[in-house]
A and B are shown apart, each in its own frame.
Chain A
Amino acid sequence: MNSEWRQSAAAGFAENPLLSVSELRRYYYARSRRLLARRRTIRAVDGVSFDLYEGETLGLVGESGSGKSTLGRQLVGLERPTAGSVHYRGHVLSRLDARELAPIRTDLQMIFQDSYASLNPRKPIFDILSAPLLYHGLETRATVERRVDELLAMVGLAANAKARYPHEFSGGQRQRLGIARAISVNPRVIVCDEPVSALDVSIQAQILNLLLDLQEELGLTYLFIGHGLSVVNYMSDRIAVMYLGKIVELAPAEELFRRPLHPYTRALIAAAPIPDPRLRRPDVELLEGDISSHNAPVSGCNFQPRCPLAESACRSLEPALTEVCRYGERAVDGHLLACPVAARELMKKEGET
């Protein structure tokens, strides 16, 4: 396990980020059949900035609909942002045309929750895996078969998988195929969008460990999207918490669980079941309603309608994601928070002790 890396990740990053997201926005102008969603602008990603460092895993959590997948798609260049930018190795992705983007796109890959939908059902596995290798000129007709064998072995599938079709595989095996396809083009960054949410627990562990092994072996950088906190905790060095298109808190994983500051992060952690019946909590404070019953307010903090700490200022001032300052105690680098009320309470508490 890459424990040294984890330490250095927690201690802050000296080096330059591999990928930078700055003030990224992606709006959809949708007319939906869904209730409560008449014609309107959906600010799916609404001003998100963060850096991704080589070799790390940045976890991304938040309720469904908070914009995680949309953010992931912008990151690998699958969609163009409405505003803001993704910087990767000196390029701004959205400024590149298709031809310029092509060589970079292989560096940035994505794995989906439903890998079945992303595998062409009419093609055998050999065709599915060899096509991108040939297209990008990474292999020739003569060498491609060896590479396909190698990829299948890397993800723990037998070589005879080549002749079979996607529907012949179980959910866990399909996810392995999705991973094989993603790593085939030698990417440096992989966005993993809820890769184990649809799998049984025993299979989940197989896939999570495979992703960790591949990361170590190939030096990959992950953006790991999940809606289960414990899975994201297992995978990530740092974790970003998203709510209605914005990052509300970002911190090294351990720090986030030891000292969650944003009221939304706290609610998420309180809601996660604890697998020990002796630690049952009689009455935890629960969030009311859900994200779909609370559209982003016109001004102020997006979380304010559900927030237990909300003050009147929260309705007008939009909180910025800023570094948490502490009195006394060693400051923890890289704990970012977008809630002035929680930040003030922390200062007060630490000032007293």
Chain B
Amino acid sequence: MTRLLDVRGLETTFSSDFGEKTVLNEVSFQIDKGEILGIVGESGSGKSVTALSIMGLLAANGRVSRGEVYFKGENLLALDEKALDRVRGHRLTMVFQDALSSLDPVFTIGNQILESIRAHLRLPRQEARQRALRLLDQVGLGDPERIMAAYPHTLSGGMRQRAMIAIALACDPDLLIADEPTTALDVTIQAQIMALLGRLRRDTGMGLILITHDIGLIAEMADRVLVMYAGQIVEQSDVFTLFDQPAHPYTRALMLAVPTLRDSRERRLRPIAGVVPENYESMTGCRFRDRCRYAVAACAEPQPLVPFALNVGERLPDPGHLVRCHRAAAGELPTTCSVLLESAPESAS
């Protein structure tokens, strides 16, 4: 069966006055119809560049320097701009982090959403309009008639973001790439939008790439997960395995760094020391090693993404569980139980 999206060995390079830098390495993953793939990581880890590379929307100084992107069997990277446009905005759409820059300021929201519907779905005028109104209502924009007539700059940030989501959904895409779609929105609105996206994948079989820095949203929505750090996938698995058995030290650190509603309030958060390295492109070994509490000398060697093939307790390994850390793969790190223990109240400190 052809996958909905099959990304193989993606590598993206930007050029500048200082030369070239490769900000994305060896990014490979697949999505099937009706599947939700979550991509999680801190800012600067390469999530947006991954999305833009797939869409063919990189900034002028960027190019995909290696790899293939098959969308329903067709290599998008081999298409010319015109052929790509037939796919983009119709079968494959994207919601950007920053709505203002991706909405056209001189057209009303109604113009933009109707254009998308009419160009791709060929619905009669009245039906297209009904569809537009319904979508605006579904993304939580009360009074859709008024929103249709509004220009982007007259809307608040949250309303614009939702209008953009409605536009992206207008022509029933097979795959939606949503790059931090709700980061700027209130939790109540976020929940409405996530419920809508979940419904669409169930009812229409839409695939979804959900990019976020919120591990809670991943738990709530994703079927499979990529954890990215400094331009690489450091862990990849189905969502249950990831939460039961996080293997990579970065994944674990990420989980311990966020407070949850269910926490005992006596738990002290464990921040990850330091920051994401700035010029990680030139690092040869594990890119997390300056911040990793398990780092040893061998971590300076290149780290491939390898299967996590160990039984943990009763649990058999999941063949799709990949990790980019030799120590995790060799079973040298504490098991999940002790990860949970680590999050218990600390006596010292």
Q: Which residues of A contact B (CB under 8 A)?
A: 1, 3, 6, 33-36, 63-64, 170, 172, 200-206, 208-209, 212, 227-231, 233-234, 253-254, 257, 267-280, 284, 286-294
Report whether A227 and B186 are in contact in the complex, using a CB–CB cutoff of 8 Å: yes
Residue of A nearest to B159 (CB): A292
Segment 262-284 of B: residues with Cβ below 8 Å from A: 262-263, 265-266, 268-272, 275-276
- A39 CB, min distance to chain B CBs, angstroms: 15
Question: Does any Cβ of A come within 8 Å of B260's Cβ?
Answer: yes
Residues of A within 8 A of B155 (CB): 34-35
Given the known interface contacts A3-B266, A230-B261, the answer about A63 and B188 at a Cβ–Cβ threshold of 8 Å is: yes
Residues of B within 8 A of A268 (CB): 187-188
Other-chain residue from A208, A233, A293 in contact with B263 (beta carbon distance below 8 A): A233
Report whether A202 and B253 are in contact in the complex, using a CB–CB cutoff of 8 Å: yes
Given the known interface contacts A202-B254, A202-B272, A268-B188, the answer about A230 and B140 at a Cβ–Cβ threshold of 8 Å is: no
Residues of B within 8 A of A253 (CB): 265
Question: Does any Cβ of A come within 8 Å of B217's Cβ?
Answer: yes
Among B150, B188, B192, B214, find the residue whose CB has the most chain A CB atoms closer than 10 A. B188
Residue of A nearest to B43 (CB): A200
Q: Which residues of B contact A (CB under 8 A)?
A: 42-43, 140-143, 146-147, 150, 153-156, 158-159, 186-192, 194-195, 213-220, 222, 239-240, 243, 253-255, 257-263, 265-266, 268-272, 275-276, 345
Top 4 nearest A-B pairs (CB, nearest first) are A293-B142, A273-B216, A205-B271, A234-B259
Other-chain residue from A201, A204, A290 in contact with B188 (beta carbon distance below 8 A): A290
Residues of A within 8 A of B191 (CB): 270-271, 284, 286-287
- In the complex, what distance in Å separates the CA atom of A290 from the CA atom of B163? 14
17 contacts between A and B (CB under 8 A): A1-B345, A6-B265, A202-B271, A205-B269, A205-B272, A233-B261, A234-B269, A253-B265, A273-B194, A273-B219, A274-B216, A274-B261, A277-B243, A288-B140, A290-B158, A292-B159, A293-B142
Q: Inter-chain contact count A-B, CB under 8 Å?
A: 159
Residues of A within 8 A of B43 (CB): 200
Report whether B220 and A280 are in contact in the complex, using a CB–CB cutoff of 8 Å: yes
- In the complex, what distance in Å separates the CA atom of A261 from the CA atom of B253? 34
- In the complex, what distance in Å separates the CA atom of A72 from the CA atom of B159? 25
- In the complex, what distance in Å separates the CA atom of A233 from the CA atom of B268? 12
Report whether A277 and B239 are in contact in the complex, using a CB–CB cutoff of 8 Å: yes
Given the known interface contacts A36-B143, A172-B275, A293-B143, the answer about A272 and B257 at a Cβ–Cβ threshold of 8 Å is: no
Question: From DSSP, what is the main secondary structure of chain A's interface residues?
Answer: helix
Report whether A1 and B266 are in contact in the complex, using a CB–CB cutoff of 8 Å: yes
5 extra interface residue pairs, beta carbon distance < 8 Å, beyond A63-B186, A64-B186, A289-B142: A202-B253, A204-B257, A230-B258, A273-B220, A276-B219
Residues of B within 8 A of A231 (CB): 259
Residues of A within 8 A of B262 (CB): 274
Residues of B within 8 A of A208 (CB): 259, 269
Other-chain residue from B140, B213, B216 in contact with A275 (beta carbon distance below 8 A): B216
Report whether A275 and B258 are in contact in the complex, using a CB–CB cutoff of 8 Å: yes
Residue of A nearest to B270 (CB): A205
Report whether B215 and A278 are in contact in the complex, using a CB–CB cutoff of 8 Å: no
Residues of A within 8 A of B253 (CB): 202
- A252 CB, min distance to chain B CBs, angstroms: 10
Report whether A205 and B258 are in contact in the complex, using a CB–CB cutoff of 8 Å: yes
- In the complex, what distance in Å separates the CA atom of A228 from the CA atom of B140? 20
Among B42, B186, B215, find the residue whose CB has the most chain A CB atoms closer than 10 A. B186
- In the complex, what distance in Å separates the CA atom of A100 from the CA atom of B322? 64
- In the complex, what distance in Å separates the CA atom of A257 from the CA atom of B263? 11
Residues of A within 8 A of B243 (CB): 275-278
Report whether A272 and B42 are in contact in the complex, using a CB–CB cutoff of 8 Å: no
Report whether B261 and A229 are in contact in the complex, using a CB–CB cutoff of 8 Å: yes
Given the known interface contacts A274-B220, A277-B219, the answer about A201 and B156 at a Cβ–Cβ threshold of 8 Å is: no
Other-chain residue from A212, A229, A288 in contact with B192 (beta carbon distance below 8 A): A288
Residue of A nearest to B41 (CB): A200
Other-chain residue from A33, A64, A273 in contact with B214 (beta carbon distance below 8 A): A273
Residues of B within 8 A of A279 (CB): 219
Other-chain residue from A35, A201, A272 in contact with B146 (beta carbon distance below 8 A): A35
Residue of A nearest to B42 (CB): A200
Residues of B within 8 A of A278 (CB): 240, 243
- In the complex, what distance in Å separates the CA atom of A205 from the CA atom of B215? 14
- A242 CB, min distance to chain B CBs, angstroms: 12
Residue of B nearest to A305 (CB): B142
Given the known interface contacts A267-B188, A274-B219, A290-B142, the answer about A230 and B259 at a Cβ–Cβ threshold of 8 Å is: yes
Residues of A within 8 A of B254 (CB): 201-202
Report whether A233 and B219 are in contact in the complex, using a CB–CB cutoff of 8 Å: no
- A9 CB, min distance to chain B CBs, angstroms: 11
Given the known interface contacts A233-B263, A270-B191, the answer about A209 and B216 at a Cβ–Cβ threshold of 8 Å is: no
Residue of A nearest to B143 (CB): A293
Residues of B within 8 A of A288 (CB): 140, 142, 192
- A317 CB, min distance to chain B CBs, angstroms: 25
- In the complex, what distance in Å separates the CA atom of A170 from the CA atom of B259? 22
Report whether B187 and A271 are in contact in the complex, using a CB–CB cutoff of 8 Å: yes
Residue of A nearest to B255 (CB): A275
- In the complex, what distance in Å separates the CA atom of A307 from the CA atom of B183? 25
- A194 CB, min distance to chain B CBs, angstroms: 12
- A118 CB, min distance to chain B CBs, angstroms: 20
Given the known interface contacts A230-B258, A234-B263, A272-B261, the answer about A202 and B268 at a Cβ–Cβ threshold of 8 Å is: no
- A93 CB, min distance to chain B CBs, angstroms: 30
- In the complex, what distance in Å separates the CA atom of A288 from the CA atom of B269? 33
Residue of B nearest to A200 (CB): B42
Given the known interface contacts A234-B265, A254-B265, A271-B190, the answer about A201 and B258 at a Cβ–Cβ threshold of 8 Å is: yes
Residues of A within 8 A of B259 (CB): 205, 208, 230-231, 233-234
Report whether A201 and B213 are in contact in the complex, using a CB–CB cutoff of 8 Å: yes
- In the complex, what distance in Å separates the CA atom of A138 from the CA atom of B258? 38
Report whether B42 and A229 are in contact in the complex, using a CB–CB cutoff of 8 Å: no
Residues of A within 8 A of B142 (CB): 288-290, 293-294
Residue of B nearest to A228 (CB): B187
Residues of A within 8 A of B217 (CB): 273
- B46 CB, min distance to chain A CBs, angstroms: 14
Report whether B219 and A34 are in contact in the complex, using a CB–CB cutoff of 8 Å: no
- A311 CB, min distance to chain B CBs, angstroms: 22
